[in-house]
A = this chain, B = another copy of it.
């Protein structure tokens, strides 16, 4: 174990996103910080996802998702979609674009994505996604992962 690895990793800069997944019949959404751009042309994003989660099964069955950017006043949404609650999609407004995956209407901006490959990465899987559509929904500044404290309990997750 590397001394203080949790505190070192927290100095890497990440945002906070709600990832929307769907297999046509079922929809879900979860909070993620490990999202980045990986290519200009074509426009690609990478998302690192815990494969033990229900949402990963939905993602694998359809290979579509949305990346929704949370604004700096939307900590409550990070918290809400970070829970394993079967009713967490209720009472939020959703819309669709090209893929049909759920877009969180209250987010700053969204990327509607098609997964083009998966790569195993330790306790997570990296999904490389092609952005097929994207748009601004609201004005504001993005929420930073460092603003969420230990919401995800990450300090307990290192070997």
Contact = CB atoms under 8 A, between A and B. Distances in A.
Interface of A: 2-5, 7-9, 11-16, 34-46, 48, 69, 108-109, 111, 117, 119, 121-124, 126, 128, 131, 133-136, 142, 144-145, 154, 157-159
A43 B5 contact: yes
A134 B122 CA distance: 18
B46 A126 contact: yes
A151 to B, nearest CB: 15
Query: How many copies of this protein are present in the complex?
Result: 2
Given A2-B134, A5-B43, A157-B40, A69 B119 contact: no
Contacts of A37: 9, 12, 14, 34, 48
Contact of A13 (B9, B14, B109): B14
- Of A34, A124, A126, A145, chain B has the most CB atoms within 10 Å of the CB of A126
A43 B4 CA distance: 12
Given A3-B135, A40-B122, A126-B126, 4 more contacts: A11-B69, A13-B14, A39-B124, A41-B158
B36 A123 contact: no
A2 B39 contact: no
Given A11-B69, A43-B9, A69-B12, A38 B134 contact: no
A144 B45 CA distance: 18
A150 to B, nearest CB: 13
A68 to B, nearest CB: 11
